[in-house]
Amino acid sequence: MREIRRYRVESEIGRGGMAVVYLARQLDLDRYVALKELAGLHAADATATLRFLHEARLAGSLNHSNIVTVYEYFEHGGIPYMAMEFLPRGSLRPLVGLLSLAQVIGVLDGILAGLAHADEHRIVHRDLKPENVMRSDDGGVKIADFGIAKAHDEIATANLTPAGEFVGAPAYVSPEQVLGSAATAASDLYAIGVIAFELLTGEVPFAGHGSPSALLIRKVNERPPLLRSRRPDLDRGLVDWVDHLLEREPGKRPSNPQSVRESLEDVAERVIGPRWRREAALPAGPPAHDPIEVPAAPPHRFASMRTLRTHARPAALVTNALSRRANLSVAAGVAVAAALLTPWLFAVAAAAYLALALITFFDEAEAAQIRRRA
């Protein structure tokens, strides 16, 4: 296995246009991480290197429960790397079209919480899509890959993306990004609208309209189809919420992730109820990547006798029941003999004999039942 500084690479778990992600083990802390490497880097490709390092610095400055944690970034052999939190459940993509309304709202709420935190630091993601939304072990989501994010006020990064080009997935990128305008928080919220549309209908707006270029042309010149045309059963408030995010002109679109999140919560409380979060956790499902084998926990030492008997072998239970009956028989016999030697204890002997008869009856019934189960 290849080692990169203090990380041992175990397998490749993802590949994009600019980077490769490996599952690696951090040797000094004995933990798994997602190690991101700038793939195909050439010495002359200084722009790609700057973009990658810029991503690492921005993502590393964000600390939120709905954002993938970045541990460190470094260069090795002239290639930049970034070590990130490893989430074995994988991305949101396999669950698209399979979630309940409460789960869909829970996903959108988690993404908006992460975006609101990034917005406080003046950071825009610019490439939101289900592949960049990771599932956490607690049933929530975390935003990954602020790889093409940029701080609003950093003029130095203005030349990292060539003029006239946009960066992002065609289905999720906003119309203004297609036209070469700077991405803003409103651009990320447009992507949220596309993700919401897809989660509720199973497909993105403008799906099946030819090549990516044709999709982009339609996105710039046409308004997306209304959600009600695909899901007339949905609550009007939720439909309006999604349609508002998909406004073609950024000036008509919301621009504050926190306010959008609050309005979504109002919809959830009205449609599902005040305890909607109890139904919002994502299903665990099989992990996308799980190299860690967790041994089964041994029985708790303070487990009840009923629990232990349930897991015991039937033959042993029969033996135990008969042994207990024999012991009680001896004890009752001793009591009868003592009573015969002492006339005034005759009543005690009679009671002991009756107890022996009852114990024998119930033990024989229990042993017979155990044999039938075996």
Does position 331 have pLDDT exceeding 70, yes or no?
no
Asked, for residue 221, whether it belongs to a domain, the answer is yes
Looking at 134-148, 176-190, 234-248, 344-358, which range is the least confident one? 344-358
Residues 269 and 130 both lie in one domain: yes
Asked, for residue 174, whether it belongs to a domain, the answer is yes
Which of 226-240, 340-354, 360-374 reaches the highest mean pLDDT? 226-240
How large a percentage of the chain has pLDDT more than 70? 64
Domain end among 279, 313, 332 = 279
Among 127, 145, 188, 363, the active-site one is 127
Asked, for residue 290, whether it belongs to a domain, the answer is no
Q: Residue range 357-372: average pLDDT?
A: 53
Does position 61 have pLDDT exceeding 60, yes or no?
yes
Asked, for residue 286, whether it belongs to a domain, the answer is no
Residues 153 and 81 both lie in one domain: yes
Looking at the 3D structure of the chain, how many domains does it have? Answer: 2
Q: Residue range 313-325: average pLDDT?
A: 39
Better-scored residue on pLDDT, 282 or 73: 282
Asked, for residue 213, whether it belongs to a domain, the answer is yes
Better-scored residue on pLDDT, 363 or 297: 363
Asked, for residue 285, whether it belongs to a domain, the answer is no
Provide the domain limits for residue 326: 305-373
Q: Residue range 266-274: average pLDDT?
A: 96
Better-scored residue on pLDDT, 26 or 314: 26
Does position 311 have pLDDT exceeding 50, yes or no?
no
Q: According to the model, what pLDDT value does residue 108 have?
A: 98
Better-scored residue on pLDDT, 71 or 291: 71
Asked, for residue 162, whether it belongs to a domain, the answer is yes
Better-scored residue on pLDDT, 339 or 234: 234
Per-residue pLDDT tens digits for 340-354: 444 544 454 455 455
Domain end among 279, 297, 330 = 279
Residues 329 and 197 both lie in one domain: no
When pLDDT is cut at 50, 70 and 90, the band that residue 45 belongs to is low
240 assigned to active site: no
Q: According to the model, what pLDDT value does residue 79 have?
A: 83
Residues 331 and 268 both lie in one domain: no
Q: Give the chain's mean pLDDT.
A: 76
Q: According to the model, what pLDDT value does residue 17 have?
A: 67
Does position 147 have pLDDT exceeding 70, yes or no?
no
Q: According to the model, what pLDDT value does residue 82 have?
A: 87
Per-residue pLDDT tens digits for 102-143: 999 999 999 999 999 999 988 899 889 999 999 999 999 999
Residues 38 and 166 both lie in one domain: yes
Residues 259 and 200 both lie in one domain: yes
Residues 102 and 199 both lie in one domain: yes
Better-scored residue on pLDDT, 363 or 11: 11
Looking at 63-67, 74-78, 302-306, which range is the least confident one? 302-306
Looking at 75-84, 145-154, 312-321, which range is the least confident one? 312-321
Residues 67 and 211 both lie in one domain: yes
Residues 337 and 266 both lie in one domain: no
Output the domain CATH number for residue 43.
1.10.510.10
Residues 218 and 332 both lie in one domain: no
Asked, for residue 287, whether it belongs to a domain, the answer is no
When pLDDT is cut at 50, 70 and 90, the band that residue 157 belongs to is very low
Residues 260 and 356 both lie in one domain: no
Dihedrals phi, psi of 251, to nearest 5 degrees: -65, -20
Residues 49 and 117 both lie in one domain: yes
Per-residue pLDDT tens digits for 1-22: 899 999 999 999 988 766 799 9
3-state secondary structure the chain: CCEECCEEEEEEEEECCCEEEEEEEECCCCEEEEEEEECCCCCCCHHHHHHHHHHHHHHHCCCCCCECCEEEEEEECCEEEEEEECCCCCECHHHCCCCCHHHHHHHHHHHHHHHHHHHHCCEECCCCCHHHEEECCCCCEEECCCCCCEECCCHHHCCCCCCCCCCCCCCCCCHHHHCCCCCCHHHHHHHHHHHHHHHHHCCCCCCCCCCHHHHHHHHHHCCCCCHHHHCCCCCHHHHHHHHHHCCCCHHHCCCCHHHHHHHHHHHHHHHCCCCHHHHCCCCCCCCCCCCCCCCCCCCCCCCCHHHHHHHCCHHHHHHHHHHHHHHHHHHHHHHHHHHHHCHHHHHHHHHHHHHHHHHHHHHHHHHHHHHHHC
